[in-house]
């Protein structure tokens, strides 16, 4: 299913390149503030802009499901803004100091500024959606934002919990990650016939779940010089993810004791982490996670069959191996 040469982000964004520039200027317009401190934080946030994956998916969904919606760039900016607000609060919750190779808002300013700034960005997103005078995007994105908060709560409870089940993990990654990708795709298809809108929603949900599984896999297998974070960072924070969940019942008694010891150690050593990574790998935890990501990808691809062929649809298809084969 994956192509011989996976598409680059630039390939995927090609059909909507001009409109992505519009998303960037809409984003600047929407967050603009005349209050000094907020303007400063905004400038920092706009500098650390990432891949714009969510607006890209929204614009591609828009193009792949019918006549381009003139509001799509604004909607893409709002979706990216909600993503940014979430990152700012996440970093505050996790006390993270770096994100995308740059200091986080809580590191550069303060914890207080992070909490308030997340609220600022989110309320700006709501104001912008009200300005568009259409309840439908508000309905989708209100629900998504709420799901993400539930996902964050689930994440808090997924620490130190060796009883954490695969079903709970699925609920967690749906809420935390897949929800907004799915919402972005659905928002792009907001004027499309019901079954196309539903297809885009499902495409985004599966792509988003695969995205998070790959993210969790990279914690076991990634190259720290590419991912920007050391291997085993999740384990170090006692975060239980799919590879470990799957491996756990297959481990020997002594391996299980090693896992428990790591969870009971405030700051696990590199040797402790390496031993657990090895045990999880041997027990097939990584292979299993890869299989699940691949199965979700197949599901995402199947959802695209409902759309008529178009360059935008092919770019959506190409986003699947892009997510699956990424190294960071």
Angle at 140 between CA 134 and CA 141, to 5 degrees: 95
Residue of 28, 29, 139, 327 that binds a second copy (CB under 8 A) = 139
Residues 38-57 that bind a second copy (CB under 8 A): 38
Binding region for a second copy (CB under 8 A) out of 133-141, 210-218, 257-265, 311-319: 133-141
Residue 20 binds a second copy, judged by CB under 8 A: no
Residue of 67, 133, 253, 308 that binds a second copy (CB under 8 A) = 133
CA distances to 10, 168, 205, 210, 314 from 73, rounded to whole Å, are 18, 35, 21, 26, 20
**Complex with a second copy: residue 72 or 148, whichever CB lies closer:** 148
Residue 126 binds a second copy, judged by CB under 8 A: yes
DSSP state letter for 161: -
Residue 97 binds a second copy, judged by CB under 8 A: no
Residue of 92, 104, 177, 187 that binds a second copy (CB under 8 A) = 92
Neighbours of 252 (CB within 10 A): 11
What does the per-residue mask of binding to a second copy show for 142-181, with x meaning CB under 8 A?
A: xx-xx-xxx-xxx-xx------------------------
| 3 state SS of 239 | strand
d(CA 272, CA 268): 6
Residue of 59, 75, 77, 122 that binds a second copy (CB under 8 A) = 122
Q: How far is the CB of 186 from a second copy (least distance, A)?
A: 15
Half-sphere exposure (Cβ direction) of 249: Cα atoms closer than 13 Å = 7
Residues 204-233 that bind a second copy (CB under 8 A): none
**Complex with a second copy: residue 172 or 312, whichever CB lies closer:** 172
Half-sphere exposure (Cβ direction) of 211: Cα atoms closer than 13 Å = 24
53-64 vs 311-324: helix crossing angle, rounded to 10 = 150
d(CA 179, CA 147): 7
CB 105 within 8 A of CB 92: yes
**Complex with a second copy: residue 154 or 313, whichever CB lies closer:** 154
Residue 123 binds a second copy, judged by CB under 8 A: yes
Q: What is the DSSP string of 92-159?
A: HHHT--EETTEE-HHHHS-HHHHHHHHHHHHHHHHHHHHHTT-HHHHHHHHHHHHHHHHHHHHHHHTB
Q: How far is the CB of 262 from a second copy (least distance, A)?
A: 21
Binding region for a second copy (CB under 8 A) out of 97-105, 109-117, 217-225, 317-325: 109-117
Binding residues (CB under 8 A) for a second copy: these are 33, 35, 37-38, 89, 92-93, 110-113, 115-120, 122-124, 126-127, 130, 133, 135, 138-139, 142-143, 145-146, 148-150, 152-154, 156-157
């Amino acid at each position: 299913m994956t192509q011989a040469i996976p598409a680059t982000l630039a390939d995927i964004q090609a059909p909507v390149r001009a409109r992505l520039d519009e998303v960037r200027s809409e984003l600047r317009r929407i967050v603009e503030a005349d209050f000094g401190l907020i303007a400063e934080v905004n400038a920092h946030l706009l500098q650390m802009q990432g891949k714009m994956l969510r607006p890209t998916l929204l614009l591609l969904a828009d193009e792949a499901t019918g006549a381009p919606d003139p509001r799509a760039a604004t909607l893409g900016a709002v979706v990216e803004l909600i993503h940014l607000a979430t990152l700012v609060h996440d970093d505050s919750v996790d006390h993270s100091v770096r994100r995308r190779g740059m200091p986080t808002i809580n590191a550069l300013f303060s914890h207080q500024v992070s909490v308030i700034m997340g609220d600022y960005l989110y309320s700006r997103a709501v104001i912008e959606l009200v300005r568009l005078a259409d309840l439908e995007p508000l309905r989708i994105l209100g629900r998504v934002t709420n799901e993400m908060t539930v996902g964050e709560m689930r994440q808090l409870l997924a620490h130190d919990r060796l009883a954490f089940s695969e079903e709970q993990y699925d609920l967690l990654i749906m809420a935390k990650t897949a929800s907004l990708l799915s919402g972005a795709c659905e928002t792009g298809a907001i004027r499309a016939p019901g079954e196309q809108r539903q297809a885009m929603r499902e495409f985004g949900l599966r792509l988003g779940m695969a995205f998070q599984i790959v993210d969790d896999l990279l914690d076991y297998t990634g190259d720290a010089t590419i991912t920007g974070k050391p291997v085993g960072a999740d384990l170090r924070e006692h975060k239980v993810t799919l590879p470990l969940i799957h491996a756990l019942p297959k481990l020997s008694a002594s391996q299980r004791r090693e896992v428990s010891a790591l969870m009971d150690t405030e700051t696990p050593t590199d040797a402790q982490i390496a031993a657990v990574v090895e045990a999880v790998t041997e027990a097939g935890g990584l292979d299993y996670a890869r299989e699940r990501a691949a199965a979700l990808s197949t599901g995402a691809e199947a959802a695209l069959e409902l759309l008529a062929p178009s360059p935008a649809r092919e770019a959506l298809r190409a986003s699947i191996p892009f997510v699956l084969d990424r190294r960071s």
